[in-house]
Structure 1
Amino acid sequence: MAKGSVKRIAGQNAQTIKNLRIGMIVPTVLSLVLRFIFRRSSLPPSKGSLFIYVLTYLPALFLSRYLENIGTSRRDPTTGTILSSGEDLGQPGVTEWCFDIIYVTWACEVGSGTLGEWFWWFYLVIPFYAFFKIWVKFIYPMFFRKSSTPDQTAADSDKPLSKRQEKLQKRSERGDPRVQRGPRK
């Protein structure tokens, strides 16, 4: 059962890495073609637009290489069996955010080729989203969370307890060692 999961993840990662490699080339070529079709006056690109392109392409290249490294399966050189499937590239969290940054970069490349250099302003979505996540997860709960007042704690103690909570409370009053008093270490 576990080997099936390892093979499935390895297969999905191989397909994702293949798409990622193709995706690092296609938006650049597409941007140049669209620039040639819709905006011939912007050929060759200005130094500023080349600088922006390189400045945004480097993080995307770094992240794509990072995803390739963590997602590549490890095989036994003699037998060819899969030793490790690599990290699941479909998992949420940091992996998902890496893909989001790469996708925004690709969209900005194609959009700037079609509509103009102003499209690179959409790249600011990345730091705004990062700030939003930091605000929601850390800053707001730490500094702006309402502290409980004595009235709230009294109201909380008036709430009816479930049967399990009543049992645990009675056990703790008797000094039962099965009930832990305080945080676990």
Structure 2
Amino acid sequence: MAQKAAKSLAARNAALLNRSHIITLSLHVLFLLLHWLFNRPSALLPYALFTFPALAIEFYLERLGRPRYSHYDGSLKSAGEDLGASGLTEYMWDITYWTWGCMVAVCLFNNRAWWLYLAVPLWSIYLAWTTFFGIKNGLAGMGGANDEASSGGATGASSKRQQKLEKRGGQRVQYR
């Protein structure tokens, strides 16, 4: 079977996008139905403000991950990007899921549940902070070797493979 991995990725992406669209549509219909049923006119501004980022992200993920097929023979042209990838894609899904949770909380309680959405920028600040200081601490020792490594006592921090190679006399490289 040609392009088996691409076809399975395309099927997985299409199923994930279809499911997310159905969930989003049902949550928005539920919210608007409850809005008109209980006549809450002040609920539309926070609703529009807080659901816009998730809708924009969902549109972007649709453009990024939807598989494309040939018009002539129906063959797969592009499987789309992996929507289960870690990193920024994972963060975008987190924002979408959190927005869904906030919408459910607003439907169950009231407009004050939109305050739960503050977790998104707080989580972003936390991730940026840990990333910045993780890189800063990781680059601090690159100026030179530390005392333990320069004195030859670095066997405590090395792996078993490195210890075996050192015991044999190091890694042998042949030059021509």
Normalised to the residue count of structure 1, the TM-score between the two structures is 0.74
Mapped partners of 2:12, 2:4: distance in 1: 12
Unmatched segments (≥5 aa) in structure 1: 179-185
CA distances 1:129-155 after superposition (whole Å, capped 9, x unpaired): 11111111113541698769xxx6237
**DSSP-derived class of the 1:123 partner:** helix
CA distances 1:93-127 after superposition (whole Å, capped 9, x unpaired): 21111111111111111211211111111101111
Shift of 1:24: 2.1
Other-structure match for 1:6 = 6
Checking the alignment, whether the CA contact within 8 Å between 1:31 and 1:111 is kept in structure 2 is no
**DSSP-derived class of the 2:23 partner:** helix
Other-structure match for 1:159 = 154
AA paired with 1:162?
A: Q
AA paired with 1:45?
A: P
Other-structure match for 2:112 = 118
Checking the alignment, whether the CA contact within 8 Å between 2:35 and 2:41 is kept in structure 1 is no
Shift of 1:33: 4.5
Other-structure match for 2:87 = 93
Checking the alignment, whether the CA contact within 8 Å between 1:9 and 1:85 is kept in structure 2 is yes
Shift of 1:65: 0.7
Checking the alignment, whether the CA contact within 8 Å between 1:14 and 1:72 is kept in structure 2 is yes
Q: CA RMSD in A?
A: 2.9
Mapped partners of 1:62, 1:79: distance in 2: 32
Mark the CA change 1:7 to 1:111 in structure 2 (over 3 Å): closer, same or farther. same
Same amino acid, percent of matched pairs: 32
Which structure exhibits the higher relative contact order, with contacts defined as CA atoms closer than 8 Å and separated by 6 or more residues?
A: 1
Further displaced range: 1-10 or 61-70: 1-10
**DSSP-derived class of the 1:162 partner:** helix
Task: Identify the match of residue 45 of structure 1 among 41, 44, 49.
Answer: 41
Other-structure match for 1:183 = none
Unmatched segments (≥5 aa) in structure 2: 156-161
How many residues matched? 165
Checking the alignment, whether the CA contact within 8 Å between 1:34 and 1:114 is kept in structure 2 is no
Mapped partners of 2:48, 2:35: distance in 1: 17
Normalised to the residue count of structure 2, the TM-score between the two structures is 0.78
Checking the alignment, whether the CA contact within 8 Å between 1:74 and 1:84 is kept in structure 2 is yes
Other-structure match for 1:182 = none
